[in-house]
Structure 1
Amino acid sequence: MTLTERGGLAIVTGADSGIGRAAAVALAADGFNVGITWHTDEAGAEATASEVREHGVRALIAPLDVADIPACGDVIDRLTEELGGLDVFVNNAGTGLKTPFLDVGLDEWKHVLDVDLTGAFVCIQRAARQMVRAGRGGRIIAVTSVHAHQPMVGSSAYDAAKHGLSGLMKNIALELGGSGISAVSVAPGEIATPMTGQTDQDPHGTHRAGIPMGRPGDAREVAALIAFLASPRAAYISGTSIAIDGGMLQMGPQAGAHLMSDEWRSV
């Protein structure tokens, strides 16, 4: 991907709703043809594709179960072939678990790690191989979480997986920079999406005392960051994790000093 290009070829996983949908549409607005994957919501993926096509670009959709390892990588290969190449890969698909550490079952642990880390590894590796083979560089963007930086009670599996994914992206930046491939993690805080139980809600009308900005984020705000990272203007950004959380990560000592009960210790 050259610095003078507008648009290109992109794949966004988990693009049937939330951050994934917003990212696919934002990339389309910048001229990208977009491959869209979905797991359980085909209608949602079709709706995303419709929005993408409104920008005059191509949209392809494919089912993807990231926990189906290593077959999930075959989906990335097929989508890349159908698109005619790959310049930007956004690893957005993920899952979570809100269970106290002592109660997490091994099967639950494995599923979260499979989706958020091992399956992500397989998909990212396939995308990277396609980019290296094409020889024109590329961008790999992983949607992680603020919990790749700080933990939360009840999220041991999720926290471990997101820490691991963030570390993987740093390694990719080291190993593939010579091939013109950058690797960046985007770490959202609370975003108003179906995953946080805020489907179609305007976050500007929701108050959050624990977030300096006073509200959750909008998926389109995260998408704007992803689109920037996919653009020529971000060509030299690699190997880092960018939090987009309204200042939430800065609240540690401040929030701790004002907690008046031990309710935070329970899920």
Structure 2
Amino acid sequence: MSNRDTRPVLVTGASKGIGKAIALRLGAAGYPVTVHYGRDRVGAEAVAEEIRSAGGTASIVGFDIADRAGAKAALEGLCGSAGAFWGVVQNAGIARDNAFPALSSEDWDDVIHTNVDGFYNVVQPLVMPMIRRRDGGRVVALSSVSGIVGNRGQVNYSASKAAIIGACKALAVELAKRNITVNCVAPGVIETQMTKDLPEDQVIAAIPMRRVGKPHEIAGLVEFLLSDDASYITRQVISVNGGLC
């Protein structure tokens, strides 16, 4: 018998795109899913309702991951009322692309504060409650191919996604003896709103598989990393990029 129904999972940035695909996949697999949103409450409600309509369990929560106090209050409130999360998928993030000489200080700060501080703001309040559960746990953070190889016009985004890799590797060491795994998933070019304006011909020419990825291809890996079959996988960065690097 599966014990997934006793393992609640938070998925941030789950109102659309990759986060939505992850939330739906985990909900279908039997995990109680908390669907996080930053601004799109309607989208989050729709995702939660889709999970429930398919027989799963879902709720929603809204907060800005860059707002440390707000995130902490929301997460501590959830843990206090519903109990500790067994898993967290830190997916939410932003991009503000531009050539480095033209990159504004605001675009640098917004990306770093949201993506890097957001990792701390979401994961840190959840770690001790997760440890106190005494039944292991999972942390999965979404990095990017940009954080591994660097991309033109994405100095800020590449820096933030590389920082997430370093944070996950260090946290994995801290939590390993608690049987809590920490891993990164590094997508390449995935078909989402964030990539819809990229020059398709140039992008596909750079990808050995000659196509962009689909959100469900990321969600499948995340589901595996949360499974019991992945209980000995930690401190890893797994790329899903069609051979891009």
TM-score (norm 1): 0.85
Residue 259 of structure 1 corresponds to which residue in structure 2?
none
Residue 206 of structure 2 corresponds to which residue in structure 1?
210
CA distance in 2, matches of 1:152, 1:34: 33
Indicate the larger mover: 125-134 or 223-232: 125-134
CA distance in 2, matches of 1:56, 1:177: 33
Note closer, same or farther for the CA distance 1:56–1:80 as it changes in structure 2 (3 Å cut).
Answer: farther
Residue 245 of structure 1 corresponds to which residue in structure 2?
241
Counterpart secondary structure, 2:14:
coil
Counterpart secondary structure, 1:153:
coil
Amino acid at match of 2:242: G
8 Å CA contact 1:33–1:83 kept in 2: the answer is no
Amino acid at match of 1:18: G
Amino acid at match of 2:92: A
8 Å CA contact 1:35–1:79 kept in 2: the answer is no
Residue 137 of structure 1 corresponds to which residue in structure 2?
136
**Cα distance, 1:208 vs structure 2:** 1.4
Instruction: Tell me whether 1:116 sits opposite 2:112 in the alignment.
Output: no
Matches within 5 A, 1:24-173: 24-173=23-172
8 Å CA contact 1:31–1:55 kept in 2: the answer is no
**Cα distance, 1:178 vs structure 2:** 0.9
Indicate the larger mover: 6-15 or 224-233: 6-15
CA distance in 2, matches of 1:27, 1:82: 22
8 Å CA contact 1:97–1:154 kept in 2: the answer is no
Give a deviation string over 1:95-136, Cα, whole Å, max 9, x none: 011111122222221111111001211211112122012222
8 Å CA contact 2:63–2:70 kept in 1: the answer is no
Residue 4 of structure 2 corresponds to which residue in structure 1?
6
TM-align CA RMSD: 1.9
**Cα distance, 1:4 vs structure 2:** 6.4
Amino acid at match of 2:230: A
Amino acid at match of 1:234: A
Count of residue pairs the alignment pairs up: 241
**Cα distance, 1:51 vs structure 2:** 1.5
Residue 229 of structure 1 corresponds to which residue in structure 2?
225
Note closer, same or farther for the CA distance 1:74–1:175 as it changes in structure 2 (3 Å cut).
Answer: same
Give a deviation string over 1:37-89, Cα, whole Å, max 9, x none: 11121111111101211232221111121111232232222233444331110
Give a deviation string over 1:148-199, Cα, whole Å, max 9, x none: 211111111111111001100000110111111100000000000112127x
Amino acid at match of 1:161: S
TM-score (norm 2): 0.93
Amino acid at match of 1:189: G
Amino acid at match of 1:173: A
Unpaired runs of 5+ residues, structure 1, are 250-267
CA distance in 2, matches of 1:90, 1:242: 14
Give a deviation string over 1:188-214, Cα, whole Å, max 9, x none: 00000112127xxxx9xxx81211111
State percent identity of aligned pairs.
35
Unpaired runs of 5+ residues, structure 2, are none
Note closer, same or farther for the CA distance 1:45–1:152 as it changes in structure 2 (3 Å cut).
Answer: same
CA distance in 1, matches of 2:106, 2:131: 35
Matches within 5 A, 1:179-190: 179-190=178-189
